[in-house]
Amino acid sequence: MKNNFLKILALLVAIQFFQACNSNLEIEPFTALDASTGFKTKQDVDAALLGCYSSLQNANYYGLRYFMLADIHAGSLTHTGTFPSFAQFANRNLLANNVELTNMWNSIYVGINRSNNVVASAPGVTDPSFNVNNALGEARFLRAFHYFNLLVYFGGAPDGFNQNGVGVPIFTTPTLSSADAAPKARASEAETWTQILDDLNFAIANLLPNNGIGRINSVSATAFKARVHLVRKEYAEAAAAASSVISSNRYTLLSGADYANIYLNKNSSETIWELQFDANNVNSIAFFYYPTAQGGRNEVSSSASLRDLHEDGDLRKAVNVTTTVPLNKTLKFTRVAGEDNVQLIRLSEMYLIRAEALARLNGSPTDITNALADLNTIRDRAGLPDFTSTVADDIIAAVLKERVIEFAHEGLRWLDIRRTGSYASVGITQEFRALWPIPEREVDTSAGVIAQNQGY
> What are 345's strand-pairing partners?
273
Q: Report the distance separating Cα 403 and Cα 416, nearest Å.
A: 8
pLDDT tens digits for range 118-150: 999 999 999 999 999 999 999 999 999 999 999
pLDDT tens digits for range 246-267: 999 999 999 999 999 999 999 9
Q: Report the distance separating Cα 219 and Cα 225, nearest Å.
A: 10
What pLDDT was estimated at residue 227?
98
Q: Report the distance separating Cα 58 and Cα 45, nearest Å.
A: 21
pLDDT tens digits for range 307-324: 999 999 999 999 999 999
| Domain parsing of the chain, residue ranges | 1-23+35-216
Measuring CA to CA, which residue among 141, 163, 154, 143 is closest to residue 223? 141
What pLDDT was estimated at residue 17?
37
Percent share of the chain, pLDDT over 90: 89
Cβ-contact 217, 209 below 8 angstroms: yes
CB within 8 Å of 8: residues ≥ 6 apart: 39, 44, 47, 48, 51
Q: Report the distance separating Cα 51 and Cα 363, nearest Å.
A: 45
pLDDT tens digits for range 356-395: 999 999 999 999 999 999 999 999 999 999 999 999 999 9
Q: pLDDT band for position 76 (50/70/90)? A: very high
**Cis before 326? omega within 30:** yes
pLDDT tens digits for range 174-217: 998 888 989 999 999 999 999 999 999 999 999 999 999 999 99
Does the pLDDT value for residue 288 go beyond 70? Answer: yes
Q: pLDDT band for position 12 (50/70/90)? A: very low
What pLDDT was estimated at residue 15?
42
Does the pLDDT value for residue 27 go beyond 80? Answer: no
Does the pLDDT value for residue 34 go beyond 90? Answer: no
Q: Report the distance separating Cα 81 and Cα 90, nearest Å.
A: 11
What is the pTM (predicted TM-score) of this model? 0.92
Cβ-contact 159, 175 below 8 angstroms: no
Measuring CA to CA, which residue among 123, 165, 118, 172 is closest to residue 147? 172
- Rounded mean pLDDT of the chain? 93
What are the φ/ψ torsions at residue 410 (nearest 5 degrees)? -120, 5
Q: Report the distance separating Cα 16 and Cα 226, nearest Å.
A: 31
CB within 8 Å of 225: residues ≥ 6 apart: 200, 204, 241
Is the CATH number of domain 1-23+35-216 3.30.950.10?
no
What are the φ/ψ torsions at residue 187 (nearest 5 degrees)? -70, 165
DSSP 310: S
Does the pLDDT value for residue 18 go beyond 60? Answer: no
Measuring CA to CA, which residue among 406, 407, 404 is closest to residue 417? 404
